[in-house]
């Protein structure tokens, strides 16, 4: 997998399992990742968020910007302050409940609070998967980046929403390129 491939190149990767989205909140998920960073004394971090994870890494970067070198949004939600994951679906013109497996769990309806100024100095990469079933949300992200392109590297992969399975070699190559920036 991706973690093994990165380890071969000498990089340590963490793949935390998030607490259940029905029993915790977005704030709880953000706190969980901040705790992992603190407990492992991590600095100079490349934080990768896939899907809903984009909302989480935004919150983590807001809380500890000095420890994050680069944010990578992998076919991920890219919120504005005061938006929830469900709000991003709505802003893309879709009902989130029309997507299989999405339900109004606390984590998906909680609105994120953050100061975009905290992330100005952090490098950011967005990887859009062109065959993603969540193009409604990733399209919103693409349009946000097009309006304010400064500080972003924008890439596309001809993959479904799960490029780690569809195109693992390409995902690792992109992450290794990010490390070298």
Catalogue the active-site residues.
Answer: 51
Spatial contact of 133 and 81, defined as CB atoms under 8 Å apart: no
Spatial separation of the C-alpha atoms in residues 161 and 50, rounded to whole Å: 9
- 3-state class (DSSP) for residue 143: helix
Bridge partners, 46 (sequence order): 70
CB atoms within 10 A of CB 111: 15
Spatial contact of 133 and 160, defined as CB atoms under 8 Å apart: yes
Evaluated on CA atoms 103, 165, 161, 152, the torsion sign reads positive
Spatial contact of 84 and 108, defined as CB atoms under 8 Å apart: yes
Burial of 53 (0-12, 13-18, 19+ CB in 10 A): buried
């Amino acid at each position: 997998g991706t973690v093994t491939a990165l380890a071969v190149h000498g990089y340590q990767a963490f793949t935390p399992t998030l607490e259940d989205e029905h029993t915790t909140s977005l704030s709880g998920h953000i706190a969980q990742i901040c705790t992992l960073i603190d407990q492992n004394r991590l600095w100079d971090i490349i934080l990768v968020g896939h899907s809903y994870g984009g909302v989480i890494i935004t919150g983590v970067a807001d809380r500890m910007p000095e420890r994050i070198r680069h944010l990578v949004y992998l076919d991920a939600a890219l919120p504005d302050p005061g938006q929830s994951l469900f709000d991003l679906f709505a802003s893309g013109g879709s009902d989130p409940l029309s997507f299989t497996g999405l339900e109004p769990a606390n984590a998906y309806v909680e609105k994120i609070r953050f100061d975009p100024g905290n992330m100005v100095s952090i490098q950011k990469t967005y990887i859009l998967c062109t065959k993603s079933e969540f193009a409604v949300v990733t399209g919103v992200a693409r349009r946000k980046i097009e309006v304010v392109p400064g500080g972003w590297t924008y890439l596309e992969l001809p993959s479904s929403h799960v490029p780690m399975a569809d195109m693992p070699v390409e995902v690792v190559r992109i992450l290794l390129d990010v490390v070298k920036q």
